[in-house]
Structures are given as structure tokens and as C-alpha cells.
Structure 1
Amino acid sequence: MIRGSTRMSEVDTKELDRLLQEAFDTATRLYQERGFQRRVGFGKRPALVSVDLANAWTRPGNPFTCDQEKMDGEIIPGMQKLLTAFRAAGLPVVHVTTAYEITDRSADFTDMGLWHNKIPVDVVDLKDKELWAIDSRIAPVEGEYTLLKKRASSFHGTELAGILRANNVDTILVTGVTACACVRQTICDGIADGFRTIAVRECIGDRVPGAVAWNLFDIDAKFGDVHSVDECVAYIDGLAAQRIAAE
């Protein structure tokens, strides 16, 4: 298990942020000249899709552990705000996690596919529920669904699209980790499957400095809209108010 972490200095982080912002400003001019960065918009019935906010990603000491400062200071508190809003409005919540039943890399047959040849997915063993259980700070409550996936996208080979359509969902608010892989792939597949895709800025993390900023910028240009937690909560609260007024 990984017990330590490598952190960039504050100076390095500020310099990285500055360089990224310069790149974003240049790319924005190009994108807008060519008709990118359009808005997909919020729909009428959203669902919250929370990707891999399970202990192997949210807690320290694992190969998949993400930036703990952002996790504890932004992602978990932001998720708690979103969950409060979704639960009060009676809207669907899907918690997504990842685990494997056959984790022997030398086995003739495994549910890991070929992914274990690139990353250590074999450590997330289905038998060790604590690893793939959703973080207790944002644990599912009765009426919410926990989906087990095997690949990066929450849609690939799962029942997610069917469940959402059966519940008349037209919009997905996506949160979780990592920005460069499972969150991004879920958003890309979400819009491809016909859902309005919203990335919740403060509730998306990664292990690599700069990965969140770059991927959110690129997602906002091509695959979905990026909104803050407060903007998303206001949207949910607005839907709840409309429903009450109509009753």
C-alpha cells in the first residue's frame, strides 16, 4: 500500500496555474472563433452521478488515493451540499464504484480485461468491501443506487443509461474522480447517450496537479457544461420550488 504522497510546493502550484491559465486563454480564443464552448444547459429532471468516491480513492494509503487536501476540503463538503439538495428534492442519486472479482493477473480469465496491464486495478478486490465502499461521509441512503463498474466510464457495460431513462432523467450532474479518466469518460459517454452533462467544478478531483483544471476546461469546451456547487444547488432548489408551486 502507498503511505506517502508527493506534493508540489505552493510556488510550483501557482506557476502551474499561471501557465495553464495562459493556455486556456489562448485556447478559448481559438475555440470561440470556431464555434466551440456552446452550452448544453440544464434539463427538467436531473440525476446525480457520483463516480468512484469510494475509500480506495478518497482515503489515504492506496494506489488510487487522490489529492487529500482537495478531497477533504472541497469534494466531500461539496458532495454533502449536493446530496442534501438532491435528497430534499427527491431526485435520483447514483453512487458509482469499481471492484473486481478475479484479481489474479496470471488467471486465464478475469473481469479486469486488459486494464491491469496499465494500472493496479487488481488491488480493488471485490472481497475487500472497505476498499470499494462509498466514503462514509457521503454514504448512500435508502432509495439511492450503488452501481459497480469495471471500466473507466460509468456507462460502459453497465445498466446506468437504462436506469436513468426509466426514471425520465434528461440531465446528469457528474462528480468524483478522476478528472482525466473515469469522470471524463462518464461525461463523454453521457452526452453521447443523449443526456445533458454537467460537471460540478468543486466536486471533481485527481491525483496529478493540473489534471482537474485542464480536463474541466476541455470538457466545458466539448462535452458538457462546468458549473459550481452553488449554481447546481440553486438549480436543484429551483426545480423543487417549481414542483411545490405546481402541486
Structure 2
Amino acid sequence: MSDATNKELDSLLNQAFAEATKLYQERGFQRRVGFGKRPALVSVDLANAWTRPGNPFTCDQEKMDNEIIPGMQKLLAACRANGHPVVHVTTAYEITDRNAAFTDMGLWHNKIPVDVVNLADKDLWAIDSRIAPVEGEYTLLKKRASSFHGTELAGILRANNVDTILVTGVTACACVRQTICDGLADGFRTIAVKEAIGDRVPGAVAWNLFDIDAKFGDVHTVDECVAYLNSVSKAAGMAQAAE
């Protein structure tokens, strides 16, 4: 899609958002869930099959290289400096034969090409080396869109007293959105990190972030989230010193 077409799409979306904002605010939507006291970073599907070219799941490469990966690097640096939990989420399947009598793909392969993310090919589902996990961080393997569906994520977060999740990754219209919706449903304050969320389809990120901000979580910039991650650590240290 050309730059001119993208600009036209952005202009139309912004007009639609302005009108929708009036409706939402009149009806009591767009409230704030707010930041909590114990955050964790949940990064969804920023693995090679999504972040690198040449795969059916590959997302917008310009945004990936110039916004999402640099944004993630800033967030990871803040989490690591302040001792906040990090969960890297990826997706892969062990039985990828669509005609098999039994498969861990469920019925999802009838809609999308999940069979190309084979567990046997670790490079496909490995987290992008530019934001690779370090010791003390967890890599979670999921089978469905949501990072919470059928996984141990909620239990891990609760065991670490997490009340706020900063969600990044791809795609905005599916795995990121479902993770945010389920996170809120499971009792976590959900924050979508604006520049660190991507998709394959033009307009999908803008629309989903607008709608998430109205109904399922708060959208904040990378810089706002980094400032929060740093401030929580400082606040915790001051509280301990006062005891």
C-alpha cells in the first residue's frame, strides 16, 4: 500500500475516531483502569515468524524494525533495571499435519496457516534475537490467540503479586487484543503500549488501539510506560526505607 493511501486511511480513521469519541464519552466509556503497584511486561508473539520477513505471519516490517523492536528494547531495559517480571509469549504446534486424527492445532488451522509454525523448527518460534530473553525471564508457549487461554500465565503473574500488565506484540487485531481482553477479565490492570504493537493489515493497529482504549485497557506510549516502570521501583524503594 502506497504512502498516499496510508495517509488517506489514517485521515479517515482519525475522523471516525473523533466521532466515536463523542459517542463513547457521552455514554460513559473511555474510563481509565490506571497503573497499579506491581507491573509485568507481557510480549506477545514477537518471535521470528512474525518479526522477520518471509513467513505468512510476517508483520509490517517498517514498523517492526523502526518502532516495535526499539520500543521493546526500551521497555526491557526498564524492566531489567528495576526488577519487573517479563514474560515472552510465542506460538508453535507439535502436530502440524492438518489431516492428522489428533492435533494440538484444534480447529484454528481451518482459518489461518498455523501449520507453518512448527515446534520442530525452533528458529520460527524463537523470540527475536534483538529482544531475546535473559536469565530470569520466562518464555511461554501458547496454542491459541490469547496468552491466557489454556496457559499458566495468570497463575505466574498472581504468584508474583502482579496487578498490572504492559502488553506489546502482534497482532493488534488478534493475539494482542485477546490477551488484553482476557487480562482485564482475569483482574489485571491492562496497558497497551502504543508503539510496540503491530499487525499485517493497514489500519488494524490504530482501530484496535482506539477500541481497546475505550473498553478494555489504557493505551500509553513507550515513554510513558518506561517512566512508570522506573517510578514504581523508586516508590517501592522509598516505602521499604521508611519501614
The alignment's TM-score, normalised by the length of structure 1, stands at 0.97
Of the candidates 195, 198, 205, which is equivalent to residue 191 of structure 2? 198
3-state SS, counterpart of residue 213 of structure 1: helix
Matches within 5 A, 1:1-247: 8-245=1-238, 246-247=240-241
1:239 deviates by: 1.0
Give the root-mean-square deviation of aligned CA atoms: 0.5
Q: Secondary structure at the match of 2:193?
A: strand
Question: Which ranges of structure 2 fall in alignment gaps of 5 or more residues?
Answer: none
Secondary structure of 1:204 counterpart: strand
Report the secondary structure of 2:233's partner residue. helix
How many matched pairs?
Answer: 240
Cα separation, 2, equivalents of 1:208 and 1:40:
28
Equivalent-residue separation in structure 1 for 2:132 and 2:124 (angstroms): 14
Q: Percent identity?
A: 85
SS where residue 64 of structure 2 aligns?
helix
SS in 1 for 2:169: strand
Residue 243 of structure 1: how far off its partner (Å): 2.5
User: Displacement, 1:222?
Assistant: 0.2
d(CA) in 2 for partners of 1:200 and 1:25? Answer: 21
Q: Secondary structure at the match of 1:154?
A: coil
Runs of 4+ in 1 over 4 A off after TM superposition: none
What secondary structure is seen at the aligned counterpart in 2 of 1:94?
strand
Query: 2-side partners of 1:49 and 1:240: how far apart?
Result: 18
Q: Which amino acid aligns with 1:164?
A: L
AA aligned to 1:232 is: C
TM-score norm. by structure 2 comes to 0.98
